[in-house]
Amino acid sequence: MFTQLLAEPFVHTALWAGAAVAVVAGAIGVFVVARGMSFAVHAISELGFTGATGALVIGIDPVVGIFGGSLLVGLVLGLLSLRGRERDSAIGAVLAFGLGLGYLFFSLYQGYATEALNLLFGNILGVSGTQLRNLVIVGAVVLLGLALLYRPLFFSSVDPELAAARGVPLRALSVAIFLLLALTTAEAIQVVGVLLVLTLVITPAAAAQRLTGRPTLALLLSVAIALVSTEGGILLSLAKPWPTSFFITTISFAFYVAARFYDWSRGRQSRSTSSPPRRIFAVR
Amino acid sequence: MSVVAVDDLALRFGDRTLFEGLGFELERGELLAVLGPNGTGKTSLLRILLGLLQPSAGSVVVEGCPPQERCHRIGYVPQQRVFDRDVVLRGRDLVRLGLDGHRWGFGRFGANDRARVDASLAEVGATAYADAPVGRLSGGEQQRLRVAQALVADPVLILADEPLLSLDLAHQRGVVDLLDARRRSAGTPVVFVTHDVNPVLHTVDRVLYLAPAHWAIGTPDEVLTSGTLSRLYGTDVDVLNVRGRVVVVGTPDDQHVHHVENGH
C-alpha cells in the first residue's frame, strides 16, 4: 500500500511542493524569530484565509485570494513598522477582524465544508501541477529577495540602532521582510493550512536558535528541520491515514522540544564543569 | 585641518530650543566629552553627527563631507543595551557587522576581512569569548564587543553615547582605555557623551557642556568651574574637587548631580 502510493504522481507533486515551501519557510523563519514577528505570521496567515474565502465568494481561485490577503496585511504591518506591545495589540485587532470577515465570506459561500477545512488545516496531497509550479516560482522569488537583503536584514534584526547609524534603511527593510513573509505564508497555507503556518515558519527557526550561535548554521539547520518535518509528515501520512498536517506539526515540534532539551543539558553541563567565572581583564 | 567642523548649529523641536549657535572643531586625536543634564540634546548632537537627524540650522562637516552622505566611516558605540539571551549572534559576527553589515547580499568573507575582525577582537581583549553567543555574555563583555565593532572599519571619527552606563568600575575603565588608545595610536577623534565626567577626566582634552539654555566648550579647567556653570545655569552652582573627583552641586535638577550617582 505504502509503496504503491509512493509511485503515484500526486504523491510526487506533494513531496516537491512540500520541499519548496519548507526551504523558504525555514529560511525566512530565522529572521522572523530574530525580529520577534511570530504573532505577525499568524495574522498574515489568517488574513490569507479571509482572502481565500473572499475569493470563493466571488468565484475566483482561492489561491489568488490567499496571496491578496497576505500581501495586503503584510504591506500594512511593514509600513507601520510598529514595535513591541503596540505591534502586538494592532496585530491582535486586525487578526480578529480578518477572521470574522473570513467566517462571513465562508457562510456566504454555499460550498463544501471541506474547502474551509483544507484552508484551515492544509491539503498538501491535493496540490496540482500548476500549483506546484507557482509554489516553486514564488519560493524562488522569496529566496532571491532574502539573499539580496541578507546582511542588512540580519544587521537590522539583531542590532537595529547600530544598523541605522550605519545607514541601513530600517523602514524599507521592514516593508521588504513583511512582503517576503506574506509570500511565504501564502505558500505555507497551501501545504499546512492557515492555522498551522507557524509550524513551518517559526518552529524550525526557534529550534535552530537553540542549537547553535552561528547565524549561517542556524539558517541551514532551520531549513533542514523544516524539510525533514514536511517530507517526513507527507510520507508518514501515506503509511497511516491521519492528516498530513498532524504529522508535520508533530515532527517539527519534536525537533523543538529536543533542541530545548539539548540547550538545557548543555547549559547544565557547562555550569557544573567550568571553573569559576573567568575574569576578562584585570582590575587596574 | 580639523576632522569635524560644527558651525552655528541649532536644534529645535517645536518651540523648544535644545541648543543654538553651537560651533566647535575637532582636531585629530582629540577627545571631547559632552556633558550636561538630561534633555539638553547630547544624544541628538550625536545623531546629527551620524547623519540620522537634520539640524534646524547650521552645518556639520566630517572630513569635508556632510555626515548624511556617508563618505566616511563613523564608529558608533551606543548606550549599553543588553542583547536578547537567545539572539543567534557570536561576538565575531557582531564585530563583522561593523565591517560589512550595511552591504547588500551574502558577501564573501575573505581572509583579509577575517584578519581585521580578529585584530579588532584582540585589540579589545575579546578573543577568549569571540565565539560565544553574545546574549550569554556579561554587559561589560558585550560593550567591549561593541567597541570592537566601532573600531573594526577604521573610522575617521568615533562617537560614544553613554558607553559606560551600568558597567562596573573595572569595565568602565577598560572601555575608556580602549577608546583612548585608539585615538592616540590612530589619531581618531572621539566624542564621548556622558553624565559623569570622572571616568574620562584623566584623558579628556575638552568638554562641551550643554545646559538647558546655554552651552560652553573648553578644557575641563575652563568649563568645570563654579563661575562657568553658574553662568550657564543662571543660578549659583558649585563645582567641588573631592579626592580628585569633580562634583557639581546646586544645578536646578540636583537629583541628577551628575557625578556622584554611580556610588563609587
Q: Which percentage of chain B shows pLDDT scores above 90?
A: 63
Cell 539580496, residue located:
A148
Chain B nearest C-alpha distance from A161 (Å): 8
- Residue A270: predicted pLDDT: 64
> Cell numbers at residue A148, please?
539580496
Residues A244 and B86: their CA atoms lie apart, in Å, by: 31
B65–chain A Cβ distance below 8 A for any pair: no
Distances from the Cα of B199 to the Cα of A282, B145, B163, B196, B244, angstroms = 17, 20, 11, 7, 11
**Within a domain: A114:** yes
Mean pLDDT of chain B: 89
pLDDT in tens, A67-101: 999 999 999 888 887 676 788 888 888 889 999 99
Residues A55 and A50: their CA atoms lie apart, in Å, by: 8
B172–chain A Cβ distance below 8 A for any pair: no
Distances from the Cα of B232 to the Cα of B37, B226, B228, angstroms = 12, 10, 6
pLDDT of residue B184 exceeding 90, the answer is yes
**Within a domain: A282:** no
Residues B61 and A196: their CA atoms lie apart, in Å, by: 53
Look up the domain containing A216 and give its range: 2-257
Q: Which residue has the higher pLDDT, A7 or B187?
A: B187
Which of A37, A150, A156, A166 should be substituted to probe chain B, the one whose Cβ sees the most B Cβ atoms within 10 Å?
A: A166
Q: Are strands B31-35 and B206-210 parallel, antiparallel or unpaired?
A: parallel
Cβ distance A151 to B98 less than 8 Å, yes or no, reads no
Domain count, chain A: 1
Chain B nearest C-alpha distance from A199 (Å): 19
Cα torsion at B11, B13, B19, B25 (round to 10°)?
A: -20
| Long-range contacts, B217-222 (Cβ 8 Å, 24+) | B217/B24, B220/B33, B220/B246
Model confidence at A122, pLDDT cuts 50, 70, 90, reads confident
Chain A nearest C-alpha distance from B75 (Å): 9
Chain A environment of B174 (Cβ under 8 Å): 281
pLDDT of residue B205 exceeding 50, the answer is yes
**Within a domain: A281:** no
CATH, residue A237: 1.10.3470.10
Question: A169: Cβ–Cβ under 8 A, 6 or more apart, which residues?
Answer: A152
pLDDT in tens, B31-57: 999 999 888 999 999 999 999 999 999
Cβ distance A168 to B90 less than 8 Å, yes or no, reads no
Residues B34 and B13: their CA atoms lie apart, in Å, by: 20
Q: How many residues does chain A have?
A: 284
CA atoms within 13 A on the CB side of A151: 19
pLDDT of residue B111 exceeding 50, the answer is yes
Chain B environment of A271 (Cβ under 8 Å): none
Question: A270: Cβ–Cβ under 8 A, 6 or more apart, which residues?
Answer: none
pLDDT in tens, A37-68: 989 999 999 999 999 999 988 988 888 999 99
pLDDT of residue B253 exceeding 80, the answer is no
Chain A environment of B103 (Cβ under 8 Å): 151-152
> Cell numbers at residue A1, please?
500500500
Cβ distance A154 to B101 less than 8 Å, yes or no, reads yes
> Cell numbers at residue B170, please?
573595572
Residues B155-168 as b/e (b if ≥16 CB within 10 A, e otherwise) read bbbbbbbbbbbebe
**Within a domain: A278:** no
- Residue A271: predicted pLDDT: 54
Tell me the β-bridge partners of B218: B207
Average the pLDDT over each of A124-138, B77-91, B137-151, B215-229 and give the range with the smallest value. Answer: B77-91
B76–chain A Cβ distance below 8 A for any pair: yes
What sign has the CA pseudo-torsion B118, B119, B120, B124?
positive
B110–chain A Cβ distance below 8 A for any pair: no
ipTM of the complex in this document: 0.87
Using CB atoms within 10 Å of the CB of residue B70, give its burial: 0 to 12 exposed, 13 to 18 middle, 19+ buried: middle
Cα B144 to the center of its chain, rounded Å: 14
Q: List the single residue in B with minimal CA-CA distance to A154.
A: B101
Residues A189 and A196: their CA atoms lie apart, in Å, by: 8
Q: Which residue has the higher pLDDT, A3 or A226?
A: A226
CB A201 within 8 A of CB A225: no
**Within a domain: A265:** no
For residue B88, give the nearest of A166, A218, A284 by CB distance: A218
Cell 589619531, residue located:
B187
Q: List the single residue in B with minimal CA-CA distance to A278.
A: B128
pTM beyond 0.90, yes or no: no
Cβ distance B90 to A214 less than 8 Å, yes or no, reads yes
Secondary structure (DSSP) of B12-59: EETTEEEEEEEEEEE-TT-EEEEE--TTSSHHHHHHHHHTSS--SEEE
pLDDT of residue B213 exceeding 90, the answer is no
Radius of gyration from C-alpha coordinates of chain B:
19
CB A189 within 8 A of CB A205: no
pLDDT in tens, B121-174: 999 999 999 999 999 999 889 999 999 999 999 999 999 999 988 788 888 898
Average the pLDDT over each of A171-180, A188-197, A275-284 and give the range with the smallest value. Answer: A275-284
pLDDT of residue B263 exceeding 50, the answer is no
**Within a domain: A251:** yes
